[in-house]
Amino acid sequence: MRYGADLSFSLYQPTRVVFGDGVSSELAIECKRLGVERAVIVTDAFLREKTDVVARAEKALGGRLAGVFEGVIPDTGVEVIDAGAAFARAQGADGLISVGGGSAIDTAKGMAIVLTEGGSIRDHQGSMRLQRRQTPHLAVPTTAGTGSEVTSYIVVKDQARHEKMHFMEERVIPDAALLDPSVTLGLPPRLTAATGADALTHAIEAYTALNSNPITDAQALGAIRLIGESLARAVAHGDDKAARGQMLIAANLAGMAFNAAGVGLVHAMAHVIGARHNVHHGTANAICLPHVMRWNNDELSARYREVALALGVDVRGLGDEAAGLAAADRVAKLLAEVGLPSHLREVGVPESDLAACAEGSLSDGAIVFNGKFAADQELVLGVYQNAY
């Protein structure tokens, strides 16, 4: 890949990333580093009751534990974030520890804003509005997918309006991410596959997004390679710590990549499907990804050729267009192999709703970063129909 003489970009990545089997036991050390004396854990009831990951975090915090907020729901919501912030305030919290997937991490990001700025999370929607340092936040991701532990994004479901609210704030990027393969061992195969598909989508979309640069390209291709090597293993053998660890690193790399480069049409389509039809984010991405790649291929095939190579596809002798389609085919095959659905009709999306979905995706911020111009309702509807 060659870059022009007019290349310019800036990157901001403040998260301390600590990786290793068992590193979640180092929470107290990281709190001390950040001056956090009274930490509230942000998690969901399932993880607290059915797994040992929350108990381990509580133990690791010792005297710095101020309380546990277990009200996180999938995709989080305005009420959850406001209630979590009220709980943390009542405990006198000076720091937040998210233990969970993207929903827990995003909840803690929202809570950090409400704790620092006051009001409701609804009052703060927007981009780059925060002027002050926010409440410290350490993330312990228990899925290998969203990369939210290193991003400035928050996705919040607005139940009343069947929409997802989006926030983009550098000041909510977590201060530390503890990547501990042992806390992901219990993630069931279907969720391992779906969250891994989210990470793969971040990497492929970041690699072809308008704001991509040489650093995000390296991160994205590195993530794609790791996912190609490890996703199927992590799904088939949930206790394979090496595969789990590689997936956590891949999700983290992909998060850093899309945080700077942006995502694209797959995310715009998936956000709408998630908000209107309660389809898990990673699953919605998995369905849309190969179709968007095929649709993008006439303009992005040179880049998809690199994606194919990162996934180990032999593209020797193929022109870019054929190599790009081979990348889409390889992605579709990988996602099918790990048991993910490949059609929207399989996840309860009615065909009659596709036009409304297409309209909704046009107002999603991700669409403008798609490497090929996509903000056209008829064109997007065509891709939804292909994915149906």
Ligand X SMILES: NC(=O)c1ccc[n+]([C@@H]2O[C@H](COP(=O)([O-])OP(=O)(O)OC[C@H]3O[C@@H](n4cnc5c(N)ncnc54)[C@H](O)[C@@H]3O)[C@@H](O)[C@H]2O)c1
Contact set with Fe ion (CB under 5 A): 198
The backbone torsions φ and ψ at residue 59, rounded to the nearest 5 degrees and listed phi first, read -65, -40
Tell me if 145 contacts ligand X by CB under 6 A: yes
Among 98, 134, 195, 296, which residue interacts with ligand X (rule: CB under 6 A)?
A: 195
- Give the whole-angstrom CA distance, residue 327 versus residue 324: 5
Q: Nearest approach, Cβ of 150 to ligand X (angstroms)?
A: 8
- Residue pair 251/199 in contact (Cβ under 8 Å)? The answer is yes
Pick the closer one to ligand X by CB: 57 or 308: 57
Q: Report what 189 binds from ligand X, Fe ion, none; CB cut-off 5-8 Å by kind.
A: none
- Give the whole-angstrom CA distance, residue 100 versus residue 71: 12
The residue among 116, 102, 69 whose CA lies nearest residue 88 is 69
Tell me if 110 contacts ligand X by CB under 6 A: no
Among 18, 39, 42, 44, which residue interacts with ligand X (rule: CB under 6 A)?
A: 44
Pick the closer one to ligand X by CB: 251 or 380: 251
Tokens of 341: 């659905």
- Give the whole-angstrom CA distance, residue 281 versus residue 107: 16
Among 81, 154, 176, 226, which residue interacts with ligand X (rule: CB under 6 A)?
A: 154
Pick the closer one to ligand X by CB: 36 or 155: 155
3-state SS, residue 39? strand
Pick the closer one to ligand X by CB: 257 or 315: 257
- Give the whole-angstrom CA distance, residue 155 versus residue 339: 26
Q: Which stretch binds ligand X (CB under 6 A): 12-20, 112-120, 179-187, 342-350?
A: 179-187
Q: Report what 142 binds from Fe ion, ligand X, none; CB cut-off 5-8 Å by kind.
A: ligand X
Among 84, 95, 100, 324, which residue interacts with ligand X (rule: CB under 6 A)?
A: 100
Tell me if 149 contacts ligand X by CB under 6 A: no
3-state SS, residue 168? strand
- Give the whole-angstrom CA distance, residue 3 versus residue 288: 29
